[in-house]
Structure 1
């Protein structure tokens, strides 16, 4: 705005963000592609700003990113949180493929209990097959490229 000679106070910009962010989010949600009914979920251990954290990622079978979450711990609450967020924005999938992580399995079982008691009538099929998760396992190469370009980001 300063390039065009318009002086705007920072409080005005903040009001614009509060006013227009929900409108932009609603339009983006309306244009969102439908997701496949089979999802993949994985976590990887990465270093962000010198601190090791877990990056949880959920994608559909076509590789479309559904949700991601940075967590300090690899536990039930982190897994449940990423599943609930992904389901909240994309709907309930038919099946989710995960690795052999006990936290992910417990998180999905907790979500299935919630779905059963809310009257949804359907639960998520859980598959623990390593080769089906190759979409996410191969995606680590993109994270490695980001690591090389930025010193504050490392992947184990």
Structure 2
């Protein structure tokens, strides 16, 4: 995002459009600051999720090196539950994504759908398996596209943002969590008849200006 903001066309926009002369580094600090505040608020919410979750991983370039971005989504509400960045695609990496999903959902799903990546099987057994088989794992590399197509729209939005930013600079970028917040709380979802995933999960923002409403709630909660 720094790269995009520091572009000459963007650097002069604040002054030309709003009569404000603000350095791009200041804007970046604001984004980092308020991402943390909103993240802290969102973490206190209890979304009402369905019982079929989807997990998939995608490659993103950060600081000139490839990383893996693990995403978990609820099928019913399209709520983007988890984004975890790792350097590898090992069992421990998959376990991080699964463990975080249980924290966000405050439960285990009935079905966890993944592709055929071997790391998923052992990670699933470690995080979700029980003798009652209350949670089952569906994993088939041959059916990857059809099984995980609920993640395609979200992955596409990440690719769009990555392209605009001309790559991500650092591992702890605020862009990944803010993109997740935008996807859940701000952007209407076509598959939900124009509702946001947060609204479908019972934790949506009622104000017309959802960004402002979310920020006000977050700041109030933080005080």
2:73/2:81 contact within 8 Å kept? yes
Structure 2 SS opposite 1:34 = coil
Query: 84, 95, 102: which one pairs with 1:87?
Result: 102
- Counterpart-to-counterpart distance in 2, 1:33 and 1:106: 27
1:45 aligns with 2:59: yes
2:168 equivalent to 1:153: yes
Could you tell me which residue of structure 2 aligns to residue 68 of structure 1? 83
Give the whole-Å Cα distance in 2 for the aligned partners of 1:112 and 1:93.
9
Q: Does 2:120 match 1:109?
A: no
Aligned partners of 1:146 and 1:153 also within 8 Å: no
Q: Could you tell me whether the CA contact under 8 Å between 2:46 and 2:104 is conserved in 1?
A: no
Q: Are the counterparts in 2 of residues 83 and 108 from structure 1 also a CA contact under 8 Å?
A: yes
Residues 53 and 74, structure 2, Cα contact 8 Å, conserved in 1: yes
Q: Which runs of 5+ in 2 are unaligned?
A: 1-32, 170-223
Runs of at least 4 residues off by over 3 Å: 27-32
Residue 146 of structure 1 and its aligned partner are, at CA, apart by 0.9
Between Structure 1 and Structure 2, which shows a larger proportion of strand residues?
1
Q: In the aligned structure 2, how far is the partner of 1:49 from the partner of 1:142?
A: 20
Q: Gapped runs of 5+ residues in structure 1? A: 1-16
